[in-house]
Structure 1
Amino acid sequence: MARILLTEDDESVRAFVKRALELDGHEITEAEDGGIALEVLDARRGGFDLLLSDIMMPVMDGIALALAVARDYPNLPILLMTGFADQRERAFGLDSLVRDVISKPFTLAEIRAAVARALIERSAAEKIA
């Protein structure tokens, strides 16, 4: 189905999300932080359908990653995840760049639904363009 770049520093959360999204047939590429995610994006020339990233990460956080991705790959939809209310507030300043901010902890159904919505919105936007 979709190629998703999953950026999350917590290995257990990354594994949970990866398994959840693979249930829907998505191809998941993992990155442990924003710096690695940008390297992967550059190596694949942005060849993903969605970026799903945690906000709080070492090296490069999800906000910095979202800003870089929006600049370099403006057609790549971005979903952010966070367990911290103050980080969620930071992300709301990026409304025009980020499709949604998903609060942790989330269920398998919630993450799958959020990703499905973002992919549907992307598909609809491509049809209009």
Structure 2
Amino acid sequence: MARVLLVDDEEPVRALLKRGLEMDGHVVTTASDGGDGLDRLRENPGSFEVLVTDIRMPVMDGIALALAAKRDEPALEIILMTGFADQRERAKNLEVIVADVLTKPFGLADLRNAVARLVS
């Protein structure tokens, strides 16, 4: 079980992914965009083991969030999600800090398995 910060600007997606991760016993905190996610990380330093974030979001995108998060918390495991090919290409340059990139649409089992691989 892990403490997961889940960041996505679409509420229905956030809710579905949160429920799926909670089925595996993870404690999930959500945020609505990258700025909100960074606030959660800074309000609770060291509280999360995994960051799952969409790439394309308003305010601060997931790549900027991943860079800031890894700078502040080097042990944090990061999974990016995207439905856009150009965003996936941007993520390729982050292999050093990002554990996985899930391409939308993906199944809930794909996310659950990706998180399980990181925390097992």
SS at match of 2:4: strand
Q: CA deviation at 1:52?
A: 0.4
What does residue 8 of structure 1 align with?
8
CA deviations 1:82-107 (Å, max 9, x no partner) are 01111001001000000010011111
Any gaps of 5 or more consecutive residues in structure 1?
121-129
Asked if structure 2 preserves the Cα contact closer than 8 Å seen for 1:6 and 1:29, the reply is yes
Select the structure of larger CA radius of gyration: 1
CA RMSD of aligned residues (A): 0.8
- Counterpart amino acid of residue 116 in structure 2: A
Asked if structure 2 preserves the Cα contact closer than 8 Å seen for 1:79 and 1:118, the reply is no
CA deviations 1:96-124 (Å, max 9, x no partner) are 0000100111112111111111223xxxx
CA deviations 1:10-50 (Å, max 9, x no partner) are 11111110011011011100000111111111111131010
What does residue 93 of structure 1 align with?
93
SS at match of 1:80: strand
Moved over 3 A (4+): none
What does residue 84 of structure 1 align with?
84
Measure the CA separation in 2 of the matches of 1:51 and 1:108: 16
What does residue 112 of structure 2 align with?
112
Any gaps of 5 or more consecutive residues in structure 2?
none
CA deviations 1:58-85 (Å, max 9, x no partner) are 0000000011011111110100000111
SS at match of 1:6: strand
The number of residue pairs the alignment matches comes to 120
TM-score (norm 2): 0.97
